[in-house]
Amino acid sequence: MKCPKCGGEINLFDLRPNCRHCGVNIMYFTQHEGLVRDAKRTELESAVARMVIARIKASFISGKLQIMRFIAVIASVCALMIPFIGVHYKLPFFDKKFSIGLINLIQSFGDGMLMKQLDFIKSAVFSKFAIAEAAVLLLFIIIVLINLLIFGAFCIGFINLTKTTIFMKRVSLVGAVVALITQIAVIVIRFAVPGNNYAGISLGFGAAAAFALFVIMYLLNKALLKKGIEPTYREFDPKRKEVLKKVRSGEIDIDSLTLPVFESEEEREERVKALEEALKIEEEGKEL
């Protein structure tokens, strides 16, 4: 066994707390080394955590544009609940409505109306109404997929702020085009397929709402790219992150680093202030 300070040989049966060569308390010296090592690692790991938080804030809530984009993304999903088009089927002992909208489709799946559309397409009475709704349903599914892409990119946007913002901008533009086509198709279908005694089409404006929100998201993402969306990190945090990578890979021995590893003037003032407050509290405790 060797002394952790001077390296002198210590007999296995030597139970003295101090090294017989240099006199250091072996237990406390080892604890001190461990505490210093933990303090260095905490400084480096805290920097990485602060950088992640800074990126999350920059993506979601760091400015008015980010907050407006957050609202627009949620509103775009909610817009899917507005009916895009509806058909009222009327027969003796059968009176049902089928609408294309997120909530209506879920309800229609539960009561079987969604599956009945396949039978209505083959029906001589309802075929033109069911085919019209099937066409709008296909466009609705495309809009749902576009919304999922935007929502997914928004949720993981902090990983790469610029790339995800560019992606959301482009996908929003595609969504606006598809939503506009859908709303025009709904209007054309409404007047091209007149109702009769057995069925009638009702106009919905879910696609118009989706179009408006896609346009808003496109403009917001464009404004964010122009303004700049990259976060502002605390001084030396990026360097701390690089050092931590090298420590974990074994390129740098953590014991060779100073404590603190990096320290800005502001951080030094905070540390000195905290130390002064701790000493003041200790002195007050002794007086009591």
Each residue of 149-161: pLDDT tens digit? 999 999 999 999 9
Structural domain contains residue 286: no
Q: Which of 10-14, 127-131, 277-281 has the lowest mean pLDDT?
A: 10-14
Do 79 and 41 lie in a common domain?
Answer: no
Do 54 and 90 lie in a common domain?
Answer: no
Alpha helices of the chain — where are they, by DSSP H? 26-60, 64-79, 102-111, 113-122, 127-155, 161-192, 206-227, 237-249, 265-287
Q: Give the pLDDT confidence score for residue 201 in this predicted structure.
A: 86
Give the domain-ending residue among 208, 227, 246: 227
Each residue of 208-217: pLDDT tens digit? 999 999 999 9
Structural domain contains residue 269: no
Give the separation between CA 165 and CA 71, rounded to whole angstroms.
Answer: 15
Name the more confident of 271 and 55.
55
Do 55 and 95 lie in a common domain?
Answer: no
Average pLDDT over residues 228-253: 90
Structural domain contains residue 24: yes
Q: Output the domain CATH number for residue 140.
A: 1.20.140
Average pLDDT over residues 204-224: 95
Do 24 and 100 lie in a common domain?
Answer: no
Q: Give the pLDDT confidence score for residue 170 in this predicted structure.
A: 97
Token pair for 94: 């059968």
Q: Give the pLDDT confidence score for residue 287 in this predicted structure.
A: 65
Q: Give the pLDDT confidence score for residue 44 in this predicted structure.
A: 93
Beta bridge pairs of residue 100: 85
Do 39 and 133 lie in a common domain?
Answer: no
Do 93 and 221 lie in a common domain?
Answer: yes
Question: Taking 70 as the threshold, does the pLDDT of residue 4 lie above it?
Answer: no
Q: Give the pLDDT confidence score for residue 72 in this predicted structure.
A: 96
Q: Give the pLDDT confidence score for residue 2 in this predicted structure.
A: 78
Question: Taking 90 as the threshold, does the pLDDT of residue 270 lie above it?
Answer: no
E strand or H helix that includes residue 100: strand 94-100
Question: Taking 90 as the threshold, does the pLDDT of residue 266 lie above it?
Answer: no
Q: Give the pLDDT confidence score for residue 288 in this predicted structure.
A: 59
Average pLDDT over residues 233-248: 91
The number of domains in the chain is 2
E strand or H helix that includes residue 202: strand 199-203
Do 124 and 222 lie in a common domain?
Answer: yes
Q: Which of 111-120, 142-151, 155-164, 226-235 has the lowest mean pLDDT?
A: 111-120
Q: Give the pLDDT confidence score for residue 124 in this predicted structure.
A: 67
Structural domain contains residue 276: no
Q: Give the pLDDT confidence score for residue 216 in this predicted structure.
A: 97
Q: Within 10 Å of residue 53's Cβ, how many Cβ atoms?
A: 12
Average pLDDT over residues 75-99: 85
Compute the mean pLDDT over every residue in the chain, rounded to the nearest whole number: 86
Q: Give the pLDDT confidence score for residue 180 in this predicted structure.
A: 96
Do 146 and 98 lie in a common domain?
Answer: yes
Torsion, Cα of 8, 9, 11, 17 (10° steps): 20
Question: Taking 70 as the threshold, does the pLDDT of residue 22 lie above it?
Answer: yes
Do 44 and 136 lie in a common domain?
Answer: no
Whether the bond into 83 is cis, omega within 30 of 0: no
Structural domain contains residue 52: yes
Question: Taking 80 as the threshold, does the pLDDT of residue 94 lie above it?
Answer: no
Each residue of 24-79: pLDDT tens digit? 776 666 677 778 888 899 999 999 999 999 999 999 988 899 999 999 999 999 99
Do 56 and 70 lie in a common domain?
Answer: no
Share of the chain above pLDDT 90, in %: 44
Structural domain contains residue 81: yes
Structural domain contains residue 285: no
CB 279 within 8 A of CB 287: no
Do 27 and 136 lie in a common domain?
Answer: no
**Domain containing residue 51:** 1-62+236-254
Do 40 and 72 lie in a common domain?
Answer: no
Structural domain contains residue 126: yes
